């Protein structure tokens, strides 16, 4: 179980890494909407528990402790879909780092102190985006068209070749961040969710990263496009409705209530 705190609280602390959340935004032109760090919510919790009863009890006790100091703005129960797929039908999280590379991708270390501040060591950033899908429109596309948009084959999860410099790039390519020949990973822990009776279908995207610029660049590439104007075509069938959080390391969190 993990707790993450949003941009609405961190600017009041002395944590340099967290205060950067108040500046996170991706501006765009044309019909693509700007995505900004959500200011309306304070705490985001993710629970990696298979037992829904334990999830419910954790949520009940947490809200009891917080009392009237918080207001629930969203409560979404996700699930694991067939073969770890999203509701668009594609395998999700294929490019995640493994082993020791996971901590290298998500945890701020002392080597990052120049960018983030020593108090942030052991913490990291979480981009939390609740995507609502227009499955009716998506399912009218041919499988081949869907595959070109995603950048992978639908049934056997094989990567397609990257698009050229001036061509429309697939989601897989736009969400891959490289700088000076180095690829920067994030860890994706997405959860599908839905209510068939209400016609609501979506993906709760949860991405962990130790550097905020990686998150911002990923969003810029998706919403603005590379080259500009050629946005991620998944966004023609999906819309994001949430923002970005910071997860404190133990050293930072243990100081809460001490005037910070």
Note the pLDDT tens digit of each residue in 198-231. Answer: 999 999 888 888 888 888 899 899 999 999 999 9
Confirm whether 92 is a catalytic residue. Answer: yes
Which pLDDT band, with edges at 50, 70 and 90, does 236 fall under? very high
- Alpha-carbon distances of 246 from 32, 78, 106, 169, rounded to whole Å: 25, 21, 11, 30
What pLDDT is recorded for position 40?
A: 37
Question: How much is the pLDDT for 32?
Answer: 44
Determine whether 75 is exposed, middle or buried from the number of CB atoms within 10 Å of its CB (0-12, 13-18, 19+): exposed
Give mean pLDDT, residues 31-49. Answer: 45
Q: What is the pTM of this model?
A: 0.76
Distance CA 49, CA 82 (A): 18
Q: Which residues pair with 46 in a beta bridge?
A: 2
Six token digits for residue 79? 């699930």
Span 78-95, mean pLDDT?
89
3 state SS for 12-35: HCCCHHHHHHHHCEECCCCCCCCE
Instruction: Give the per-residue pLDDT at 177.
Output: 93
Catalytic choice (16, 68, 92, 236): 92
The pLDDT tens digits for 139-152 are 999 999 999 999 99
93-110: per-residue pLDDT in tens? Answer: 888 898 989 999 988 887
Both structure tokens of 40: 């309306």
């Amino acid at each position: 179980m993990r707790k993450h705190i949003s941009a609405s609280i961190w600017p009041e602390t002395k944590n340099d890494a967290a205060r950067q959340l108040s500046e996170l935004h991706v501006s765009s032109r044309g019909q693509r909407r700007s995505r900004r760090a959500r200011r309306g919510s304070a705490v985001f919790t993710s629970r990696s528990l298979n037992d829904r009863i334990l999830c419910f009890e954790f949520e009940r006790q947490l809200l009891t402790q917080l009392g009237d100091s918080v207001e629930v703005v969203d409560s979404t129960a996700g699930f694991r879909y067939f073969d770890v797929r999203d509701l668009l039908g594609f395998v999700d999280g294929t490019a995640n780092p493994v082993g020791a590379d996971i901590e290298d991708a998500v945890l701020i270390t002392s080597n990052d102190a120049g960018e983030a501040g020593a108090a942030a060591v052991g913490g990291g950033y979480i981009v939390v985006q609740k995507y609502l899908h227009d499955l009716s429109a998506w399912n009218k596309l041919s499988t081949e068209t869907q595959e070109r948009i995603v950048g992978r084959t639908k049934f056997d999860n094989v990567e397609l070749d990257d698009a050229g410099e001036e061509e429309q790039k697939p989601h897989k390519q736009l969400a891959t961040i490289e700088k000076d020949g180095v690829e920067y990973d994030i860890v994706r822990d997405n959860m599908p969710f839905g209510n068939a009776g209400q016609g609501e279908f979506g993906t709760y995207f949860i991405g962990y990263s130790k550097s905020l610029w990686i998150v911002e660049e990923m969003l810029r590439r998706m919403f603005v496009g590379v080259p500009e104007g050629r946005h991620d075509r998944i966004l023609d069938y999906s819309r994001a409705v949430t923002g970005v959080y910071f997860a404190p390391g133990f050293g930072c969190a243990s100081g809460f209530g001490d005037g910070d």
